[in-house]
Amino acid sequence: MRMVSRLVFAFGLFLALAALLPAVAAAQAKPVTTTFWDAEPADLVKLRMEILKGFEAKYPHIKINYLNIPYAEARQKLVTAAATKTLPDTMFFQATWLGEFAAMGELLDLGPYAEKWPGGKNLLPQVFSVGKAYKNTLYYLPSEFQIDALFYRADWFKEAGIKGPPTTWAEFLDAAKKLTDPAKNRYGFSMRGAGGNERYYIMWMLMANGNVFFEKDGSLGLLNHGGMDGLKWYLELCTVHQVCTPNSVNNSFLENTAEFSSGTAAMYIHNQYSVARQIKAFGGTVEAAREKFGTAAIPRGPKGRYIAANFTNGYVIFKQSAHPEETWELVKWMLSPENDSKFSQTTGALPANKSVYDEAWFKGNPFLAVFKQQLDDPAGSFNFPIQMAKWNSLIAGPLKEEFQKGLLKQQSAEATGQAIGKAISDALK
């Protein structure tokens, strides 16, 4: 009996020491400071700082030097920092920057870290497939997904007696024509013709050609297999059928959103960030908003499929980091289900953790289901070639301008397609 008591006591002491040891180790660990940049809007900074405070409480020996940069300046600041060797340890990073910064040799391979991380099993497989876009090396860990869907005015459809939402291109065009009435300042579709326009016309081309961006030999396949027809169809919405709002060529997503909520456009395409804005614009509650608008899958193309563009933001660790191990702890913290959920609930982004999708806030919002459906469909979502070092300058330059020329009828749809194809092919060399 005495022996048993001693054993129990010894075991209890062992458990107590095991529980205390990490805290003791952390307290005795050398204090380090890790620098974290992000470009979130000002209204998210408070949430970000709360999450970072939680990290510092858990890891008292790691201090975060946090800097929030205005989004419009973030890439410029990163480029300058890369030139002057003053990059932070980690950053909340945009996917389109991956190719150029990886090509510069500035990103750390996160593969060895992720392999040893049990939490990685809870992440969507898309996190790793997108994260390994550059030379099949995990330089990037997406933490949020933005996937596009169709926003449509359910009340206009009902008023016009149109069965909505449209599920095919033909239904989409038919609805857009019926809902266009310039005398009443109403148009069927608000097209994005300014920065970011490539997301949508490339989607249309891929729907037409069976989702072939690159051929098997690595050459550009976007124009092939019917891709050019898809571009022509999409352009003709504005140039022939005239169902687009007059400002379409200069529209960013802000104008698209405003035209929809102000009652001048019946449909537009955007990601789930628009859901919260439109709920606010149409009554402030899900119940009130459902009377006015709905979300639906992108209408299916001639090959019977929809393709939705997938865009991500996430985390990288820069090679210049003097504390990669500690910085990795921070990245894991940001990607934990608890913090992933907090962020997604506030930003409207699709989270990276599988378990978060089972939470009540996601399941209870009927507008969000279609985005997850498209994200989960491997044949229905498309990731842009962010591994290309020149992708970012392509989308800001020729891919935007050539499409605008087509929209303004300064060149034919065929010439537009050829110019876009040439720009991408030249960048591949």
Partner 1 sequence: MLAPALGFILTFILYPLGLNFSTSFQHRVFTEPMANQFVGLANYVKIATDPTFWLVLRQSALWVTGSLAFQFLLGLALALLLNERFPARGLYRSLILSPWAISGVIIAIMWKWMYNPQVGVLNEILVRLGLVSHRLAFLADPSTALPAVIFTNIWRGTPFFAVILLAALQTVPKELYETAAMDGAGPWQRFLHVTLPSIVPMIFAALLLRTIWIFNDVDLIFVMTDGGPVRASETLATFLYKKASRDLDFGMGSALAMVMFAILMTITALYYRAFRRSGRMF
**CA distances in angstroms from 89 to 38, 86, 280, 319, 410, listed in the order given:** 11, 9, 37, 8, 46
Q: CB-wise, 52 or 102, nearer to partner 1?
A: 102
Which one of 248, 272, 339, 374 is in contact with partner 1 (CB under 8 A)?
248
Which one of 39, 147, 212, 265 is in contact with partner 1 (CB under 8 A)?
265
Rounded CA separation 414/405 (Å) = 12
Which one of 146, 180, 245, 272 is in contact with partner 1 (CB under 8 A)?
245
Tell which residue, 282, 390, 340, 347, has the closest CA to residue 122.
340
- Cβ partners under 8 Å of residue 126, min gap 6: 142, 145, 310, 375
Rounded CA separation 242/182 (Å) = 10
Which one of 396, 412, 418, 422 is in contact with partner 1 (CB under 8 A)?
396
Q: CB-wise, 77 or 232, nearer to partner 1?
A: 77
Size of the site for partner 1 (CB under 8 A): 41
Rounded CA separation 242/189 (Å) = 9
x/- site string to partner 1, residues 195 to 214, per CB under 8 A?
x-------------------
Q: Is 79 in the site for partner 1 (CB under 8 A)?
A: yes
Which one of 54, 111, 120, 246 is in contact with partner 1 (CB under 8 A)?
246
Smallest gap from Cβ 17 to partner 1, in A, equals 51
Q: What are phi and psi of 87, to 5 degrees?
A: -65, 150
Coil, strand or helix at 339: helix
Six-digit token string for 294 = 């709905």
Which one of 44, 81, 103, 160 is in contact with partner 1 (CB under 8 A)?
103
Smallest gap from Cβ 361 to partner 1, in A, equals 31
Q: Cβ distance 34 to 62 under 8 Å?
A: yes
Q: CB-wise, 372 or 405, nearer to partner 1?
A: 405
Q: Is 277 in the site for partner 1 (CB under 8 A)?
A: no
Smallest gap from Cβ 268 to partner 1, in A, equals 12
Q: Is 250 in the site for partner 1 (CB under 8 A)?
A: yes
Burial zone of 9 (CB within 10 Å; 0-12 exposed, 13-18 middle, 19+ buried): exposed
Which one of 33, 129, 410, 425 is in contact with partner 1 (CB under 8 A)?
410
Q: CB-wise, 274 or 339, nearer to partner 1?
A: 274
Q: Return the residues of window 16-75 that contact partner 1 according to CB under 8 A.
A: 75
Rounded CA separation 347/368 (Å) = 13
Tell which residue, 114, 141, 113, 136, has the closest CA to residue 126.
141
Residue 91, sorted as left (phi over 0), alpha (psi -120 to 50) or beta, turns out to be: beta
Q: Is 400 in the site for partner 1 (CB under 8 A)?
A: yes
Report which DSSP code applies to 82: H
Six-digit token string for 43 = 């209204």
Applying CB under 8 A, which part among 191-199, 225-233, 275-283, 415-423 lies near partner 1? 191-199
Q: Is 86 in the site for partner 1 (CB under 8 A)?
A: no
Q: Quick one: angle between helices 413-428 and 227-239, nearest 10?
A: 130
Q: Is 408 in the site for partner 1 (CB under 8 A)?
A: yes
Q: Is 401 in the site for partner 1 (CB under 8 A)?
A: yes
Q: What are phi and psi of 99, to 5 degrees?
A: -60, -45
Rounded CA separation 346/362 (Å) = 12
Six-digit token string for 129 = 């497939």
Applying CB under 8 A, which part among 29-37, 78-86, 304-312, 416-424 lies near partner 1? 78-86
Q: Which residues bind partner 1 (CB under 8 A)?
A: 75-76, 79, 82-83, 99-100, 103-105, 182, 185, 193-195, 245-251, 255, 258-259, 262, 264-265, 389-390, 392-393, 396-397, 400-401, 404-405, 407-408, 410
